[in-house]
Every structure is written in structure tokens, then in C-alpha cells.
Amino acid sequence: MYMKNLNRQVICTYDDPVAETKSGKLRGLKTGSTYIFRGIKYADAERFHMPKPVEPWEGIREAYNYGYVCDELNTPIPHDQYIVPHFFYPQDEHCQYLNIWTQSLEKTAKKPVMVWFHGGGWFSGSSVELLAYDGENLSADKDVVVVSVNHRLNVLGYLNLANYGEEYKNSVNAGLADLVASLQWVHDNIENFGGDPGNVTIFGQSGGGAKVLAMLQTPAADGLFHRAIMESGGPTGAGSRELAEARVQDTLDMADEVVRQLGLTRETIKEIETIDWYDLADAAMKAIWVMTEKTGRRVSWAPQADGEYYFGHPLDYGFRKESLHIPMMVGSVLGEFDGNFNVKIGDDKKNFWDDETKDAHLRERFGGQAEEMKQLFMKAYPDRNYADVLYTNTGLRRGCIQFTKARAAAGGRVWNWLFNLESPFNDGTVAWHNAEEPFVFRNASYIEAQYIPGVSEKLEDEVSGAWVQFAKTGDPNFDGIPEWPPVTPDHVPTMCFDEVTDLRTDHDKELMERFPAPKPMGFPGAKNMYAVFGLKPEE
């Protein structure tokens, strides 16, 4: 897909490589040792309806081009293109496609399967949006089957039309149902791609992490996966069951507003299935603004608990006992969005500040807590520049601590991690949201803003090694990292992936407990993000 395929012969003939599925035969590609099948249609669906299996076909279908990605509500504007390179692809609402990278097409190979759910919240993104998502290196180097998935997003996947008739009762969870359908397809067909349907790991970052967690709370997904990895997304719920239920009502009200914006009624609601996409998108964006003004809350697109198809976030509704046995890895990145992707304040760079300058910036940020934050950060990270406390994420880190301890208390096995590697970009940048993904997928050398000779290769081996060991056995421990115990109800051992990877237990507990409210989003492109979230940026 990218530069790594230059000057390499790709095999693609009329009859090789060909794989059988329950619906028909597919012809893909072979490059090096890796078989690649792109754009496999795993389900079909009418707008706002549940997915259904694809119709069988005769002959051999081509599977060497990616399938459509879901329509976006607005034009994607990557604010972080240099440090998180993006790849955009044609959009369509009929976007139920998946991609496979594998080392074998033998049914007896029984290799671990790793199914990737992309980020972008529940409203944006695709399985091919980021360069880091390419699965060839992970499959080839670690001998696993890698699968990535597109599904319905935003208004297409999560418009709650339940009040408009029985046929729409699941419309708010249609995108979630696509993910279940993709896992069902993997279960039914992955043997023909060398995979083991009895050993499937789902993993995802940001919104993809939330999707992983949602699968644990969705009975229809039971038995379709066996391990779960959440990366920088999903650990926090609404805050209470009451607020979660209020948000369900918000989605019903937002659907009413979309319908009103379109000039439809209960009697004419069927027209919403065929109305032009741009009109639907315009109505959806207007509805977000109206509802946010009305409720004072962020009203956006996401699956909603209905007590039947989806059982809601476990911190609001409780962990389902049927999926509590599934082992998990849950973690985040030191900076996430709080790093702002630019470590300059004023005219200087944080790694060139003297202590007087650092302390002045800490006082500006933390006021009377400046010295306390300095000491707590130095206690947690004695090997780091204490100016990094200015760029340390709290929201996801606190959420991961809370979630992992709660799951351990409920009887689950869960391991916690942090990705802390500082990039050389801008003379030193704290690890950002998405920073771990190239190391998971073994594509670290292609992210030029992150690459550190010798360090990147070592850390790539450690991160991908832990992820794949977990996929194989349900335990991330292997001989390339320190011993890593799971979280208990009282303590959070955290594997800190860095230039020197080490295990630290409760190292930032006091820091997270005492850290003041986070800064508002201030990174480049934030106005676009506010618009997507349904919030008005500050003037």
C-alpha cells in the first residue's frame, strides 16, 4: 500500500491467490510472504436497518482494491498530518468492507487472528485512514492474520429512530451491528485465510477502543472473539446510569430534530431511507448544534443501551458476566491530545528551558498547585523533564485506572500500559494520541516525525511482541519485556513503553488524583474537531 511495496513484485493472476468464502471465491494479491485481500464485502444493509449476509456469487470476485469507507458528515481536515499521516478513500454509505493480511491460505494453519477497529469516534475515520493501519508488517513479522474493518458511522450508524416504528428500533445501533457482522464473517470464513476462528483478538484505538468495549457489552458478539485490547479510548462512561439514560433520550430528541430539519413526519418517515446523502448530512449537523444548545451537553453519535441488543458502558450499567472471562489489555498515551502536538510556549522549546522558565510556566498553568504538580510528576517520572507535566493527559489515564480496577474487582483479568516515548519532532514532543499505533503494527519506521534509529526498532519489538503474545495466549508476558502482572482491585501495575521499557505500579496515582481540570482542546484543527463534536469553539 505504501513505500514498503516499491520494487517488490506482486503476484495477481486469474487463479492465484484465490480464497474460498461461504458466499463465493475471492482473488487477492501476494507480496513477499503476505497474501492481501482488500475490499471484502462482509454484509449488506439498507439505510437505518440491520446488516444481513451478502448474496452468494458465481465465479471469482476481485479483492485487491479497498472498499468504500463510510460517508463523513464534513470534510476531514487532519490537524496532525505530519505526525499522524492520513490516507483518504472514496466514501459511500454501503461501506461494510474488510481487509485481510495473512501468511497462509491453508485451513489447517490456525493462526491467531487480530481484528482492528479504527479510530475517529463513532462519527469519522476508516480502516485505511492512517498509514499506521496497514497490516502487512504485523502479519509478516509476527505470523498472525490481520483484519481491518469499515462500518457505518455518524448519522448512518447511530440515528435513533426508535420512535418512528418497529422497523427502526435498532437504527441507533446499526453501526455496532455492522461490527458484529464483521466478526461473524471472520468466524465463518477466516479458516480459509489461515486463521483460527477460535482465537480472535479485537483491538482498536480511540473510537476503536470504545468499539472494542462495546463488543463486550453486545450479546450478539458473544463467542465471536476471545481477547480484547483497548488503546486510548473507551474507558469512561457517562458518569452514572441516570446520565446514560438521559443521553438515550437525547438521541431520540436529536432524531426528531433531524426529521424536522428534513421536513418529514411520522407518516412520511420512510423517505428518510432514500433522501440524498448531502441533505441528510446537513440536517444531522444542524441537529447537533440545536441539541447541544438545548441540553448543554455534547450530543453526538454513538450506540445506546437498549437492554436487548446493547447493554451500555459497564461503568454505567455493569459488566456482563457472559464476557467477563475475556482477558483485556487497556492503556493510553502519556500526552494524548494534551500534548497539543507543539511543545513551544512563547519563543522557546520545553527541552531548552531552564528551571526558572519551567517553574514560571507551571505557575501559569497550575497556579498555587505548581510546586505540588512538579513534585508529584518527578515522583512518577524521575527520568523525565518535569516540564512534561504541562502536556500530561489525565482524562484517558484516569479512565484507564478506574476501568481496569473496576474490571479486576468484578473478576476480570486486565493488563494496563502507557506509551511514553518522546518524539524528536520539534526538538522533543510528548507522545500524542495515535503515537503507539505504528509500533503495534510494526510500521514505526514510516512515521518520520517519530523515528529514532535503534530506539524505534527496539520499542516496536516490545510493543508488537506484547500485543501478539496476548493475541496468542491471553497474557502479554514474553521474554522481551519485564514481568507484567495484571491489575488488581487495589493496584495498577503499568507497563511503561519507552526508550527503556519498565513496569511501574501505582506510579502516577497521586499525580492523577491531584491533577487539576484539563485544559480545553487547543491543538491545530481544534475548531474542526469542535464542529464534529457538536460544540461551538471559543471565539
pLDDT digits (tens, 9 = 90+) for 355-393: 999 999 999 999 999 999 999 999 999 999 999 999 999
Choose among 491, 529, 500, 472: nearest CA to 80: 529
The answer for residues whose C-beta is within 8 angstroms of residue 82's C-beta and 6 or more apart is 425, 449
Domain ranges of the chain: 3-69+77-152+171-231, 318-457+472-514
Q: Would you state the pLDDT for residue 539?
A: 32
Residue 360's CB: how many other CB atoms inside 10 A? 15
The answer for residues whose C-beta is within 8 angstroms of residue 81's C-beta and 6 or more apart is none
- Bridge partners of 333? 419
The answer for residues whose C-beta is within 8 angstroms of residue 416's C-beta and 6 or more apart is 329, 330, 331, 400, 401, 404, 487, 492, 493, 494, 495
- CATH number for region 3-69+77-152+171-231: 3.40.50.1820
Rounded CA gap, 482 and 320, in Å? 32
The answer for residues whose C-beta is within 8 angstroms of residue 157's C-beta and 6 or more apart is 70, 122, 151, 174, 175, 176, 178, 301
Contact between 93 and 173 under an 8 Å Cβ cutoff? The reply is: no
Averages of pLDDT over runs of 10 residues in the chain (539 residues) are 60 92 97 97 98 97 96 84 90 98 97 97 95 97 98 98 96 98 98 98 98 98 98 94 92 97 97 97 95 85 95 97 98 87 59 94 94 98 96 96 98 98 93 96 94 97 98 97 98 98 98 82 38 39
The answer for residues whose C-beta is within 8 angstroms of residue 456's C-beta and 6 or more apart is 439, 444, 445, 450
Helical segments of 318-418, H only: 355-366, 370-380, 395-410
In this prediction, what percent of the chain has a pLDDT beyond 70?
Answer: 93
Query: Residues 495, 209, 288, CA angle at the centre, nearest 5°?
Result: 140
Measured over the CA atoms of residue 527, residue 528, residue 530 and residue 536, the dihedral's sign is positive
Q: Would you state the pLDDT for residue 259?
A: 98
Contact between 482 and 495 under an 8 Å Cβ cutoff? The reply is: yes
Choose among 76, 89, 93, 531: nearest CA to 278: 93
Identity (one letter) of the amino acid at 501?
Answer: T
The answer for residues whose C-beta is within 8 angstroms of residue 343's C-beta and 6 or more apart is 349, 350, 351, 391, 426, 427, 428, 429, 430
Residue with cell 487539576: 516
CB-based contacts of 368-375 (< 8 A; 24+ apart in sequence): 369/514, 369/516, 372/514, 373/511, 373/514, 373/515
Rounded CA gap, 170 and 450, in Å? 42
